[in-house]
Structure formats: structure tokens, C-alpha cells
Structure 1
Amino acid sequence: MNLPNILAFIRILLAPLLFFLLINDFDNIHPSWVNYFACVVFGIAALTDFFDGYIARTWNQTTKLGSIIDPLADKMLVLAAFLGLLLTQKADPWIIYIILVREFFITGFRVVMVSEKFDVSASFAGKIKTSFQMIAIIFLIMQWPFANTLLFIALVLTLYSAFEYILAYIKHLKKV
């Protein structure tokens, strides 16, 4: 197993820890400290997302396993964060629902695309979407100003990137 895949697996392992930190009340610890720690865990996980892709491309270590576990790890991390924020009422539930439905739909859609030998590499819009989701999550965890604005921008980018995937697949079907 190469380093990028190990980093993706670390991200998968950090997702439940993040969820645990977000949903639990710790009696002897001030909530702001728990939020800081949750942000550190999320930040480390987000950095593994950047570095696994960078290392895989620059060191020529892209693998079939990596192309499967990297987006899976991303979804697990975002799912853990958004569900934790939803359960603790730190985010608008409708925006979270829409984002999560899109994530599940497009993930399933990408599985179909892979089975048909269609390239499902993340698009530029998908990468920007993920970045905004991650920034919004940090702002929401910390309850900083503009958190909901960032979440709304993430929603718009999430829907746009979904449209982009669907459009690319339709174009692919017309060629076949």
C-alpha cells in the first residue's frame, strides 16, 4: 500500500472521531475546547485529502484502490461532519439534507460511471465544492461569523458540480 492510500485510510479513521467530538457533551471540558479539538481533527483530515492527491500525482502513485478510497474517505469525512453539525443544530438542516442527498446520489452515480469505464476524476468544480464544504464545516464547528453564508456557497457549488457530472455522463452516452 502506498502513502496516498495510507493517508486516505487515516482520513477514514478520523471521520468517526470527528463525529464523536461533535455530538458528545463532555462534562469536564468547556465546549469551545471540544470545538477546537474537533477543528484540529477535521483540519488534519482535510490536509490528508490535499496531500494524498498531490503525492499520488507528483510521485506517480495513482492506483485503482486510491481512485476508489479517496472519494470514499472524502464522503465519510464530510458525512461525519455534516451529521454531527446537524445533530447539534449548528447548521441549517435543509442545506445539509440537500448536500448529503447530492453526495449520496453522485457517489452512486460515479460507481455506475466507473462500471461503464467512464473517467470519474474529480472535476475542478468538484474540488472547489469540496474546499468550500470543508471551509464551511470549520466555520460551523467554531460558530464563526459567515458560517451560514459559506455553507450556502458550498450548497450552490455542490449542486453545480452535480450538474456537471450529469452533463458529462449524458455527453458520454451520446457518443456510445
Structure 2
Amino acid sequence: MNIPNKITISRIMLIPIFIIVLSFPFDWGTISIGATDLPLAHFIAVIIFAIASATDWLDGYYARKYNLVTNLGKFLDPMADKLLVSAAFILLIELGLAPAWVVIVIISREFAVTGLRLVAAGEGIVLAAGQMGKLKTVIQILAIIILLLHNFPFNSIGIPAGDILLYAALVITVISGIEYFIKNWHVMEDSK
């Protein structure tokens, strides 16, 4: 297994730690950031999530720079993204920081695209993520981070940036999903 794939695996391994930090009732107190009193568990979860998210850029950069792009990497990388982001969005519902219907739409799109990728894999085709899908991932990551930080630093100026980013992520997620299916519909046609 090459280094980019190991980096991707490390991202997958951080997901259970992220879940434990946010799911279990650790009472580590709060941390004051600006005008925000933030549960320390949320702050630690943001650090874990940010590190895991950064590995997404790192593994891709390393794979392209050293020509280490593999089919395994093309499969693992988007799967790791979906697992991380889905876990974070589900936990945001539990924490009361995101509406369930938004998360259901976002995760449904991820399942649909994964299904299309599985059909393509059955035909021997590996579908890589497009630019709109990459933008979707960035906006989702930013939304999750700002929501877990309870809208810091934007709460001091009264801008609900976390909510704005969440709904922007919703729109871009839907648009990128439609674009992905239109671009790759031939896979469904060929598999009949």
C-alpha cells in the first residue's frame, strides 16, 4: 500500500475517535473563544475533524505529485470523505446544530453517488470526483467546523455563517449530485 493510501486510511481511523469525543458525555468543561463559551469536547472534535479533513488534500497532493494514483485510492479517498462528513453531520443533528432534513438530503446524495460508483466498478470503470464534488466537500467541511465552533468567529458580528455554509453545502451537494449523474449516466445505460 502506497503512502497516499496510508494517509487515507489514517483519515478513516480518525473517524471513530471524532465520534467518541462528540458522542460520549465527557464533561471537560468549556473554553472561551472570543464571546463564545464552547464545550471543550467540541473544540477537540474540531481539531480532530480538521486534521482528518486536511489529510484529504494531503493524500491527493502526494498521489498526484509522485504519480501514485491508484484505483484503490480513487475508491478509498471519496469513501473516507463520505464517512467523515456523514458522521459529522449526523452528530450535528444529535447536538442540535443542524436540521435533520438537510443532513438527510446531503447523505442521500452521497449514497446515490456511491451507488453509481459501485455500478461503474462492476463494469470495470472507476469514476473520480469532479471539481463540483470537490467544492461540495470543502463547503461541507467549512460548515461542519463553523457549526461545531458554535459560529465562532462570526457570532461576534451577528452573521450566522455556520447556517449559511450549511445551506450553501446543501445546494452545492444537490447540484453536484445532479451534475455527477448527468456526466456519468452512460454507466447506468451500459449496465442494462
TM-score interval, smaller chain: over 0.9
Decide whether the 8 Å contact of 1:139 with 1:146 is kept in 2: yes
Decide whether the 8 Å contact of 1:12 with 1:77 is kept in 2: yes
Q: How does 1:36-115 map to 2 (within 5 A)?
A: 36-115=43-122
Letter in 2 for 1:136: A
SS of 2:4's equivalent in the other structure is: helix
41 and 95 in structure 1: CA distance in 2 versus 1, 3 angstrom threshold: same
- Structure 2 distance, partners of 1:69, 1:173, is 22
Structure 1 match to 2:184: 169
Letter in 2 for 1:158: T
Letter in 1 for 2:20: F
Does residue 154 (structure 1) correspond to residue 163 (structure 2)? The answer is no
Decide whether the 8 Å contact of 2:119 with 2:187 is kept in 1: no
Deviations along 1:139-167, one digit per CA (max 9) or x if unpaired, are: 11111031111000001110111111110
Between Structure 1 and Structure 2, the one with more strand by share is 2
Provide the TM-score with structure 1 as the length reference: 0.93
1:175 to partner: Cα distance: 8.5
Deviations along 1:48-71, one digit per CA (max 9) or x if unpaired, are: 000000110111011121111111
1:82 to partner: Cα distance: 0.8
- Structure 1 distance, partners of 2:44, 2:128, is 32
1:172 to partner: Cα distance: 5.6
SS of 1:26's equivalent in the other structure is: coil
1:125 to partner: Cα distance: 0.2
Structure 2 match to 1:129: 136
SS of 2:39's equivalent in the other structure is: helix
102 and 174 in structure 1: CA distance in 2 versus 1, 3 angstrom threshold: closer
Structure 2 match to 1:4: 4
50 and 167 in structure 1: CA distance in 2 versus 1, 3 angstrom threshold: same
Structure 2 match to 1:22: 22
SS of 1:90's equivalent in the other structure is: coil
Deviations along 1:89-142, one digit per CA (max 9) or x if unpaired, are: 111111111101111111111111222234411100000000000000001111
Structure 2 runs not aligned, ≥5 long: 31-37, 152-159
175 and 28 in structure 1: CA distance in 2 versus 1, 3 angstrom threshold: closer
* Deviating more after overlay: 107-116 vs 39-48: 107-116
| RMSD, aligned CA | 1.7
How many residue pairs match? The answer is: 176
Q: 1:140 aligns with which of 147, 150, 172?
A: 147
- Structure 2 distance, partners of 1:27, 1:175, is 54
Provide the TM-score with structure 2 as the length reference: 0.85
Which of structures 1 and 2 has the bigger CA Rg? 2
